[in-house]
Structure 1
Amino acid sequence: MAQRLLVIEDEPTLARLLSYNLTQEGYEVTVEDHGTAGYDRATREPFDLIVLDLMLPGMNGIDILDKLRGQGIRTPVIVLTAKNAEEDVVRGLKSGADDYITKPFGVSELLARVSAVLRRISGLAEEAVPEATVSASTIILGQLEIYPERYEVSLGGQSINLRPKEFEVLLYLARKPGVVLTRDDLMNAVWGFDYIGGQRTVDVHVSSLRKKLELDPESVHIDSIRGVGYKLVVNKKRTPVI
């Protein structure tokens, strides 16, 4: 069965280009040209991936992402951003986007990114069953408690709302507390070896995590190691249980 893609893009020429080339690759493509209609479609029907423009009538792409992730809908999303719009890229990643493409872009780049995200998500799904038996227990670090099978985190007894990729970054750091992990380590572990986005993606997610861990910075925090990467620093009040 063909994988189903939802394209939410209001510019007619670009929407036709996306639809044609993705269909030629064997995907089943649905197109919506209005933000609200695209959001409604994404919540009503199952899709394997969403290609989402950030500038849309009715409801912009960031609002769509926030609402989808807020409802627990984890369909992978690739956002389309304007050239030199780094702020939009950061906002998209913080809102739960899996990847981004900067306009103008080539068809080959689009197809490569779509294929990479779908392969990565498929790989995670295949590993879900055996992984559950390994990661079912709680990870406790200071006042930080992580529940891998439920994608839930609490700090000092207070629940922290994390985006899926933020959770995966924190989980990877928490499995090796005090160990310096490079950006490449994090990129490969969370986004996959075939991810073709930049390391800025890692920095954005770590920055967002830091703000959410400020509830109890004396218990646990993330240190930057200049030119290398990051490590999770824990006040040794408890022993991690994995």
Structure 2
Amino acid sequence: MAASIALVDDDRNILTSVSIALQAEGFVVRIYTDGELALKALIDNPPDLAVLDIKMPRMDGMELLRRLREKIPMMPAIFLTSKDDELDEALGLALGADDYITKPFSQRLLIARIRAILRRLDMSGRTDGEEGATPAEKIVRGRLEMDPARHRVTWGGREVTLTVTEFLILEALAQRPGFVKSRDQLMDTAYQDDVYVDDRTIDSHIKRLRRKFRAVDSDFKAIETLYGVGYRFSEE
């Protein structure tokens, strides 16, 4: 079945050109001209992935994603943001976006990012017995338990809801506790298909991971920073 993509942007030129490009790639596309129009529709009928413009009238993309996350925590989202607007990028990632792209953007790049996220989601969602699947073993590291087959994470028995990108970054760190992963290695884990992201993106995902775990355990310190080198997971 073709994946469904929701485009939310107040720029009708972008909606038209991007929707045509995505439909040509085999996606089912739904378009919305502002956040308020999109909110109820996406909650009632969630897409496989949403592409959200940040700056829109009535309800901007960040408020839209915040409300969507309350109802659909695992829905992947990509933000479209103004060129060189670092504040938008940081806030967007902090709210749980899986990725962001700055305007003006290449449609080829957007399609590559969409396919990469959907592929990661498909791989993390496969269970034993499904075509192409391999047995997904649970990862237990101290108080951390990760179940890739169910995309479920707990810390000390308390569930922590992660996006696809956050899950993959944490999984890469937890697979070899005590070993350092550079930002480049984490990029390769979370962003395949030669899709370029910068160091700031990985740092933002790490900050959000820490914030989510500290919400269930204020003493959480398992993700360590080695300045100038990268990150590692400690079993504490």
TM-score range relative to shorter protein: 0.7 to 0.9
Give the residue type in structure 2 aligned to 1:145: L
Matched, 1:47 2:47: yes
Displacement after TM superposition at 1:7 (Å): 0.6
Q: What is the CA deviation profile of residues 24-83 of structure 1, one whole-angstrom value per residue up to 9, with x for unaligned ones? A: 333221111120221212112242221111112332211222222232442321110001
Contact preservation (8 Å) 1:6, 1:29: yes
Q: Name the structure 2 match of 1:145.
A: 144
The 1:193/1:139 distance shift into structure 2, 3 A limit, reads farther
Give the residue type in structure 2 aligned to 1:146: E
- Cα distance in 2 for residues equivalent to 1:67 and 1:124: 24
Number of matched pairs = 229
Q: Name the structure 1 match of 2:137.
A: 135
Give the residue type in structure 1 aligned to 2:67: K
The 1:163/1:107 distance shift into structure 2, 3 A limit, reads closer
Q: After the TM superposition, which residues 1-16 of structure 1 pair with which residues of structure 2 at under 5 Å, given as runs?
A: 1-16=1-16
Q: After the TM superposition, which residues 1-242 of structure 1 pair with which residues of structure 2 at under 5 Å, given as runs?
A: 1-125=1-125, 127-129=126-128, 133-136=135-138, 139-141=140-142, 144-148=143-147, 149=150, 151-155=152-156, 160=160, 162-214=162-214, 215=217, 217=219, 220-235=221-236
Q: What is the CA deviation profile of residues 154-211 of structure 1, one whole-angstrom value per residue up to 9, with x for unaligned ones? A: 25x6655544433432333222211111122222223335433223221111122334
- Which secondary structure does the structure 2 equivalent of 1:207 belong to? helix
Give the superposed CA RMSD: 2.7
Displacement after TM superposition at 1:212 (Å): 4.4
- Cα distance in 2 for residues equivalent to 1:117 and 1:55: 23
Contact preservation (8 Å) 2:81, 2:100: yes
Contact preservation (8 Å) 1:7, 1:31: yes
Runs (5+) with no aligned partner, structure 1: 236-242
Contact preservation (8 Å) 2:128, 2:136: no
- Cα distance in 2 for residues equivalent to 1:134 and 1:112: 26
- Cα distance in 1 for residues equivalent to 2:111 and 2:145: 35
Q: Name the structure 2 match of 1:238.
A: none
Contact preservation (8 Å) 2:223, 2:232: yes
Contact preservation (8 Å) 2:73, 2:161: no
- Cα distance in 2 for residues equivalent to 1:192 and 1:65: 24
Larger displacement relative to structure 2 (55-64 or 162-171)? 162-171
Q: What is the CA deviation profile of residues 213-238 of structure 1, one whole-angstrom value per residue up to 9, with x for unaligned ones? A: 55454x74322223321112333xxx
Output the TM-score relative to the length of structure 1.
0.79
- Cα distance in 2 for residues equivalent to 1:56 and 1:76: 20
- Which secondary structure does the structure 1 equivalent of 2:154 belong to? strand
The 1:146/1:105 distance shift into structure 2, 3 A limit, reads same
The 1:178/1:135 distance shift into structure 2, 3 A limit, reads same
Larger of the two Rg values belongs to structure: 1
Give the residue type in structure 2 aligned to 1:23: Q
The 1:181/1:193 distance shift into structure 2, 3 A limit, reads farther
**Aligned residues: percent identity?**
32
Displacement after TM superposition at 1:133 (Å): 4.8
The 1:210/1:46 distance shift into structure 2, 3 A limit, reads closer
Contact preservation (8 Å) 1:151, 1:164: no
- Cα distance in 2 for residues equivalent to 1:111 and 1:221: 35
